[in-house]
Amino acid sequence: MAITFDSVNKWVLLPNVTSITAQEIYNVAVEWSETQEGMDDLPPLLSTGFAPLGGGAYSDKIFILNSGWKLKPYSGTYTLTIIGTIITDDESPREVPPDSGTVHFVYQVTSQGIISVTGSGVTQQDKQDIADLVETQTGQPIKTKVNPLPADPAKESTVTDIQVQTTNIELHHIGRVKMEGDYLYIYDTLNQLIAKYKLNKDSEGRIIERVPQEL
């Protein structure tokens, strides 16, 4: 079951899970805001943070429930862990009770994050998006060092280790996001365009792929 939205009550309806990330909720909210149904309302969530701290460290992303939107969990009695920082824009509670049962929310947050494009949990598309954004902002392609695959034939399917080396790269805070036609535009907090994506959809009009575009 996917994340859905009740625009009448301003509820972000969470699926039947015991753990979910704030980033995942935000990503789906952005996609919903670009649909015909969501365009008539203010975005359920906004984002800020991700400020450079030096030494490759960045501040935590903060996701803001906007204009009265609340998280509503799936019915049942369980503990739901939200990984990431979610707040409201008016200091009100972040969630409403389920239709039945009792759900205990646990917000698992960190004080800072480290940007890395290697290791588990990072997809090839994530790496490509980061490389494209770096090249766009600096005018220089990202430099990579590729370690060779092991000589042992039994290990030929091992994924190549990629170490990405970057210097003097400034990542802007994420600001507003908008969609025009089949294109998604992302701006920094100074209203400068920092990324553009082509949104490919399936036969039912659902977004299934985000393809980086040249600015």
Residue 189 has pLDDT above 50, yes or no: yes
State which H helix or E strand residue 22 sits in: helix 22-33
Predicted TM-score of the model (pTM): 0.52
Task: Choose between 150 and 211: higher pLDDT.
Answer: 211
pLDDT class of 209 with cuts at 50, 70, 90: confident
- Neighbouring CB atoms inside 10 A of 96's CB total 14
Nearest partner of 199 among 87, 77, 31, judged by Cα: 31
Residue 116 has pLDDT above 60, yes or no: no
Please give the share of the chain, as a percent, with pLDDT higher than 90. Answer: 34
The domain segmentation of the chain, as residue ranges, is 1-115
What are residue 57's DSSP bridge partners? Answer: 54, 114
Residue 13 has pLDDT above 90, yes or no: yes
pLDDT class of 18 with cuts at 50, 70, 90: very high
Q: What is the mean pLDDT of residues 180-201?
A: 75
Mean pLDDT of the chain: 73
Residue 10 has pLDDT above 80, yes or no: yes
Amino acid making up residue 104:
H
Which has the minimum average pLDDT: 64-68, 143-147, 169-173?
169-173
Task: Give me the pLDDT at residue 123, please.
Answer: 55
Whole-angstrom Cα distance, residue 200 to residue 150? 37
Please give the share of the chain, as a percent, with pLDDT higher than 70. Answer: 60
Structure tokens at 140: 């220089």
pLDDT class of 58 with cuts at 50, 70, 90: low
Structure tokens at 18: 């015991």
Residue 7 has pLDDT above 60, yes or no: yes
